Amino acid sequence: MRIAFLTAPEGVEEVELTEPWKAVEGAGWNPQLVSTAPGQVQAFDHLDKAGRFTVDHVLAGDTSEAFDALVLPGGVANPDALRMDERAVGFARSFFTAGKPVAAICHAPWTLVEADVVRGRTLTSWPSLATDIRNAGGTWVDEQVQVCRAEPATLITSRKPDDLDVFCATLLREFDRHAQGAG
């Protein structure tokens, strides 16, 4: 499976990128770093600069066609920038339209709010997004991980870096479920 990891050029929370990435690689799948600009993305450890990661694919009106699933890492600046970029919003929305699973952690659901895909869904996030999610027609819950299998696509969400173990295990299970034709 080819898994897109969508990030802005700067501001992704490093551990929310690297831990799911390792999980996907460990499952034998092919993670691809997708961004809105070429070169490298600058990751952060909260407010401090951390590692830099090479972009594999630059968005240019792309859809989910070349990928099997999407991971949206958080960080505050990352999804805030992505939700202001129509290419990123459209890319995220296309996974829902195509019925492909999406996993988002921490502040990442901001991009999904902008894509208008949370209506009628139950999800979790960093607590400060609860009102945004409710205003977009979603139901917010305070859980380590939430799986919403509302048609047409499965959405896996999680609150914060402390939840990464359960988030990674759940996204692997749900992505595999989709690959086996149950999703």
Is the separation of the CB atoms in 32 and 57 below 8 Å? yes
Task: Name which of 50, 54, 17, 14 is nearest 38 in CA terms.
Answer: 54
**Length of the chain in residues, anyone?**
183
Rounded to two decimals, the pTM is 0.97
Tokens of 15: 């551990």
Tokens of 99: 């019925």
Backbone φ, ψ for residue 41 (5° rounding): -100, 145
Backbone φ, ψ for residue 159 (5° rounding): -85, -40
Instruction: Give the structural domain span for 115.
Output: 2-179
* CATH (domain of 122): 3.40.50.880
Per-residue pLDDT tens, the chain, 183 aa: give them: 999 999 999 999 999 999 999 999 999 999 999 999 999 999 999 999 999 999 999 999 889 999 999 999 999 999 999 999 999 999 999 999 999 999 999 999 999 999 999 999 999 999 999 999 999 999 999 999 999 999 999 999 999 999 999 999 999 999 999 999 875
**Number of domains forming the structure of the chain:** 1
* Per-residue confidence (pLDDT) for residue 183, from 0 to 100: 58
In sequence order, which ranges of the chain are alpha helices (DSSP H)? 14-26, 77-82, 86-97, 109-114, 130-135, 164-179
Is the separation of the CB atoms in 111 and 72 below 8 Å? yes
| 10: β partners | 42
Is the separation of the CB atoms in 55 and 39 below 8 Å? yes
Catalytic residues: 106-107
